[in-house]
Structure 1
Amino acid sequence: MDWLHPAVITCFLLTEKMLRPVQHRTLLQRAAPAIKKETPSRARLVGGSSVIGSFSLVGSTSQLLTCSALPNSAVSHTSEAGKTQLQSKWKAPTSGKLNNIEFRATFVRNYTTFWVGVKSAQITYNGTATGAGSSNSTSSSISSAGCGSSKTCVSQPSDCDPSTNSNCYFMSATPLSSGSEFTFEISGRAAGYISIGFSDDKSMGNDDIYICGKDKNGVIQLQHAFSTGTTTPTTITLGNVTVLSTSENNGVISCSFTSRNTISTTRSSTPSNSYYIFIANGATNNGLIAMHTTTPLISSAKVDITKTQTLGTASGLPSIIKAHGCLMLIAWMTTGSMGMLIARFLKRAAPGQRFCGKDFWFVAHVSLMFLSVVATIIAFILIFSYEKDWSGGAHPVLGCLVMILSFAQPIGAMFRCSPQEERRFIFNWAHAINALAIKGLAVAAIFTGLLLVDSSDSQWMPKVMGGFVAWEAVLFLCQDFYHKYSQKDMEDVDGVGTGLLLLLLFFVGNLAFLVALLVGIGKA
């Protein structure tokens, strides 16, 4: 399904100076399959009902019509043959007060499929297209002026101003005199779209959404959508919405619009003015929105948009997601890493040490790996009970692989043969290779997870994780070098010495990195 209407009205300025009258070439285009019919295209003042200006023909496939007793005030096709575009020229009137102008047209594919009142990007009298969503468009007029006095604002960082801070994620709602009409503003840095959602809770699903993003041609357009579960929102008709401006400037996408639509989180629910407000952003692919790359910003409490206020901060991660992340960090940064290190080195550093009739290294290894598997299972259950769906992306794929291999590791160990068996080496190699695969996948899953939850400009949490990986690699190499060196002099291996000191050093450094990331997730 296309994200936007399958027909677009594009305006091209023909004059280079602010002359009167101003001329534009209009292009009715992009139909797949081809549009069979097209009712007259007209120019109106934004918010008005009277047609203005006059058209002239470009080519022989169109004809001029008289509308509202004004000759040449509308243009249409000359045949029912399928067509992919229809061009004409439009000239502004030479008198009268002109405000923003838009072109409207109705496209008919067949008797059951048609689009009524498709609007072009708005143009001003000096010929500037406000809907031209390119990197060369003028900067957005959206700002924090009036927050708390005339409009409700939600922003991240707290109290940021989108007119001066390009890293400000911002939305505002200004109630108009009618009480049922609001002017909304959206602004934020994004690869393809910035969106706001109105929800009864802090979970995605049954949300009323407005998306400000790039269409197939890279033009910024406004779209209305409704989400069901955590799947891609379903586009719905724009309804009683007047687009005031759209822009993209140096990667910052902005839209402002007036809406008379009733905000409803379920199609049949009683309307309310209090909602949790979501701000999300992500990429678009050929006009289709992709999953947001970071956790959406969510207002800390329900917001009544009829009462002006300023929310200084927007909260992000729900507690259950934080718990999932913390458990996975503990499992594969600390208990899992320590368990692997002990199995590899402690049995050589402290041979013959017994606990409960078993080698001490074996008891420590089994205990730590058991904790890792249990923590992974709990984290796995938590996140799926919260999402209740497949969210997509690399992170859940990596997480599922970690869960499967982690569950298989102790099962395989239960059926291992005795150390004296001739084929014991098969188990040893399989156990070691599976452990290495789990470790690599777990590290990748943690990196992708941190990228999802870290909304800071510096992205410091993945960098801390990178430091941990480097620290772990250095300590593993130190342990290897030490034991290879000590094997030359067997008296040097006394069960205490340098090997245990390196193990203790690894644990202390590991704990420091872990605490830093746990604090980061807690504040995310």
Structure 2
Amino acid sequence: MMHVYTLLFIIWTSPVVLGFSSGLVSTSCDTMVPRHRAQAQTVPSPYTVTVDRSSYHAGYTIMVTLQGQSTTFMGFLLQAQEVGGSQPVGTFSVTDGQAQLLSCSGTANSAVSHTSSSSKSSVKVLWHAPASGSYKDIAFRATFVQSMKVFWVQVESATVSYSFISSASCGYSKLCMSQPSNCDPVSSDSCNFISVLASSTNSTFHVEISGQASGYVAVGFSDDQYMGNDDIYICVDGGNGSVQVQHAYAAGAVAPQKLPLGNVSIIQTSITAGIIKCFFSSENTISTQPGKAAATPMYYLLFASGPASGDSIEYHSTKFSSSQKANLRSPQLLLSGSSEPPIVKAHGALMLISWMTTGSIGMLIARYLKAATKGKRCCNKDFWFLAHVTLMSLSVIATSIAFILIFSYFGGWSGGSHPVLGCIVMILALIQPMAAAFRCTPGHKWRFVFNWAHALNALVIKILAVAAIFTGLGLIDTTDSRWLQKVMGGFFAWEVLSFLLYELNVRLCAKDKTEPGSDSKSTEVIFLIIFVLGNVTFLVALLCGIGQS
């Protein structure tokens, strides 16, 4: 009788044991709970489910990794499921001998499990998104079995969001432009992307825009690579996860004028982790001149993104344009090859020259080189004074010209910190010569007030000018490395070090309580030559960068 009970027990338990070791666990698909007659663990899982993408698109593939942090696992069951749902999504393929495909909910290859009960520390499989259907955000959920009585159920990966915009058909069924070039908004959070496809039979065109921004992303249709006379569509963060689509016209380098939205159908929009996306179609006629429509839809594409205040956009923080005009009805890949307008480059060059050479050298001469030129006069004035006045006058003149150029180009005020800093620098720079014209005589008892105020104002101007240059370079440097700002950072460190060395030299001379000798004067002149060469080197590098921007 005992043999009969033993045989019955073996027959009753064998499906469980065999099913566990072989990984054929389709019966657990719905709940993902293994039939081990034990309760799932409630403590944090020592296993993780990770993915190599944060978003997906139709037909895309994601690598999924199951891994033990500090211990191995014997078995597993993995599915992709909609967030908030339990039905499997997509299909898997395996290249790892430790994994096999299963059918769940009647869908072939919709789950993966182990092939044996051997210890595993890591398993990698591939998940393939459906080629069509209704798409939602998904998560990968796995059950990990450590032993017959120790297991964790539905350990979840990070959410993988569905991206309705991708570069998959760029050049084949739509016209695309992106920065960095050929990036994909599905796989890269830093990808700024535009796609357009105009109908060959009517005026309808479809637009996709994606980019990381604090307020808005926009696409413009233009006759040139610069802002002005542009037909613009803007996707603005509307708050609470909503995105508004706006239509506008830019008459110049100023804030665009809003237009009625017109015949625009919004297909889909989203904002996730600061990435704004919108997909819409429009039957509005594209016009870069008010009331005039082009015979052929040939335009430069412009991209811009930046902050917004409510539903009003502010000055862009990122912008680029296509390197050539494109026919909106012709699918192709466009390179971004925008160039700053010459007047903007001239503005930047003048400001760099003013505050990296003439201004810096003029300030240094007045502070540290009076003794080196003692006794040397020209036109009945000390040589150091003439050099200081000449250099600082050139700085004020160049700053004024740069100020006039940029305001004449933009035709008004633009947002952001750069114009604010620039205006303050301009005002303080004009105060310097005006105050100097009414200064007291050298022997007057109140002369020290002018000396201190003059020096303090110069220091403030210098600091604000450097800050203005930093923010200005940030507007034109669209490279991933931001190398122009890094060069400017190197220049700032160079100037601080140079002034500290000069100050140290002055302190040492004062400590000796002796008149500077010929050796000291030679040292100061050598320092000046080195300082000028260093400044000019940084200046040339930045001027080259502006020329190529």
TM-score (normalised: structure 2): 0.67
Shift of 1:127: 8.3
Instruction: Tell me the CA shift for residue 346 of structure 1.
Output: 0.9
Does 2:220 correspond to 1:197? yes
CA deviation string 1:272-305 (max 9, x = no partner): 51223210011334454333223x2122333331
1:516–1:137 distance in 2 versus 1, CA, 3 Å: same
Aligned-partner SS, 1:408: helix
1:517 and 2:538 correspond = no
Q: Give the C-alpha shift of residue 14 in structure 1.
A: 13
The reply to whether residue 283 of structure 1 matches residue 299 of structure 2 is: no
Indicate conservation of the 8 Å contact 2:321/2:338, yes or no: yes
- What one-letter code is carried by the residue in structure 2 that aligns with 1:277? L
Is the 2:428–2:457 Cα contact (8 Å) retained in structure 1? yes
User: 1:235-254 residue pairs with structure 2 within 5 A?
Assistant: 235-254=258-277
Which residue of structure 2 aligns with residue 506 of structure 1?
Answer: 531
Q: 1:137 to 1:287 in 2, by over 3 A?
A: farther
Return the match for 2:173 from 145, 150, 153. Answer: 150
CA distance in 2, matches of 1:179, 1:377: 51
**TM-fit CA distance, 1:126:** 5.3
Q: Structure 1's 216 and 136: CA in aligned 2 closer, same or farther, altered over 3 A?
A: farther
Residue 503 of structure 1 and its aligned partner are, at CA, apart by 1.7
Q: Which amino acid aligns with 1:506?
A: F
Is the deviation greater in 136-145 or in 187-196? 136-145
Task: Output the CA distance in 2 between the equivalents of 1:467 and 1:137.
Answer: 41
Give the partner amino acid of 2:276. Answer: I
Deviates more, 1:378-387 or 1:441-450: 441-450
Long gaps (5+) in structure 2: 1-81, 89-131, 139-157
1:408 partnered with 2:424: no
Q: Which amino acid aligns with 2:533?
A: V
Change (3 A) 1:215 1:136: farther
The answer for the alignment partner of 1:265 in structure 2 is 288
Q: Deviations over 1:123-175 (max 9, x none)?
A: x9858499xxxx96724243334444433222223333333433222212223
Q: 1:490 aligns with which of 514, 525, 532?
A: 514
Question: How far is the alpha carbon of 1:211 from its aligned partner?
Answer: 1.7
TM alignment of 1:103-118, pairs within 5 A: none
Once residues 140 and 316 of structure 1 are traced to their aligned partners in structure 2, the CA distance between those partners, rounded to angstroms, is 31
Give the aligned partner of residue 465 of structure 2: 442
In 2, Cα distance between equivalents of 1:149 and 1:237: 32
Structure 1 distance, partners of 2:408, 2:200, is: 44
Query: Following the alignment from structure 2 to structure 1, what is the Cα–Cα distance between the partners of residues 160 and 414?
Result: 34
Out of 184, 187, 206, the position equivalent to 1:161 is 184
Q: Which residue of 2 aligns with 1:313?
A: 336
1-side partners of 2:429 and 2:232: how far apart? 39
Quick one: percent identity of the two aligned structures?
Answer: 52
Across the two proteins, how many residue pairs are aligned to each other? 403
Q: Deviations over 1:96-140 (max 9, x none)?
A: xxxxxxxxxxxxxxxxxxxxxxxxxxxx9858499xxxx967242
1:365 aligns with 2:412: no
Mapping of 1:351-500 within 5 angstroms?
351-487=374-510, 488=512, 490=514, 492-494=516-518, 496-500=521-525
Structure ID, larger Rg: 2
Amino acid corresponding to residue 518 of structure 1 in structure 2: L
Are the counterparts in 2 of residues 156 and 314 from structure 1 also a CA contact under 8 Å? no
CA pair 226-246 structure 1, distance change in 2 beyond 3 A: same
Q: Distance in 2 between matches of 1:360 and 1:236?
A: 61
- 1:252 Cα shift? 3.1
CA distance 1:280–1:235, change in 2 (3 Å)? same
Q: Can you list the C-alpha shifts for 1:383-409, whole angstroms capped at 9, x where unaligned?
A: 011000110222212211211222222
Task: Check conservation: 1:245, 1:255, Cα contact below 8 A.
Answer: yes
1:45-84 aligned at under 5 Å gives the runs: none
Kept in 1: contact 2:137–2:162 (CA 8 A): no
1:328-343 matches, within 5 Å, as 328-343=351-366
Calculate the TM-score normalised by the size of structure 1: 0.70
> Quick one: structure 1 residues 362 and 492, their matched pair in 2 at CA, closer, same or farther if it must change by over 3 Å?
closer
Check the 8 A contact 1:18/1:126 in 2, yes or no: no
**What is the Cα deviation at residue 374 of structure 1?**
1.4
Distance 2:251 2:441 in 1: 54
